Amino acid sequence: MVAVNSVMVPLGTEAPDFQLKDTTGNIVRRDDFRNKKGLLVMFICNHCPFVKHIQSELVKLTSEYQAKGIGIVAINSNDSEKYPDDSFEKMKEEVEKVGYTFPYLYDETQEVAKKYKAACTPDFFLFDENLKLVYRGQFDDSRPGNEKPVNGKDLRSALDCLLDGKTLPEHQRPSIGCNIKWKPGNEPDYFLNK
């Protein structure tokens, strides 16, 4: 597995629009979350060892902050032809197996990943109530095999700052994970130039 860092999009960037199908067949849009205290957009997939490593803590954290008024969605943008474990059908199974309480969306064309400049799984983007980017970075310091605890401390701290009306620090550590599995010829410039 090749580890890739987040692109680290400029803070203050507006959340790009999206309109994607979730695992129940419903269409979920960015603007469905306009009445929330913030919006967390996560790029994940089913098979990535970096996602699997944080999965149980991610389920806990997202459930906790949904209850506090944060809108949360996850998006799978991987090429499911080459990676059948990331197919739409397998996404449905994953939601049931893992217990995700947020919509898990399928970005079949990979256009939404490109709009967000998502590079890896997991890749986290936290927006405020005005849909302006306040955090992009890692879940915590834990990685598969490094023996550090999976506690979501970086993302949790960002969410707490947002909810408390505090300014988040500009220095944020990028997420690291498997690269998004781009369809042949669909690789974005920001990925090719890494």
Whole-prediction pTM: 0.95
Angle in degrees, 0-180, between the axes of helices 153-163 and 49-66, rounded to the nearest 10: 30
1, pLDDT greater than 80: no
| Arithmetic mean of pLDDT, 104-111 | 96
The architecture (CATH level 2) of 3-192 comes to 3-Layer(aba) Sandwich (3.40)
pLDDT exceeds 90 at position 22: yes
Q: Name which of 2-6, 11-15, 111-115 the model is least confident about.
A: 2-6
**What are the tokens at 87?**
């197919």
pLDDT score of 2: 65
Quote the pLDDT of residue 145. 87
Sign of CA dihedral 12, 41, 123, 166: positive
For residue 190, what pLDDT is reported?
A: 81
Mean pLDDT of all residues belonging to the chain: 93
Is the predicted pLDDT of residue 118 greater than 60, yes or no? Answer: yes
Q: Where are the domains of the chain?
A: 3-192
With a cut of 70, say whether residue 29 has pLDDT above it.
yes
Classify residue 48 as exposed, middle or buried by CB count within 10 Å of its CB (0-12, 13-18, 19+): buried
The tokens describing 108, both together, are: 């079949």
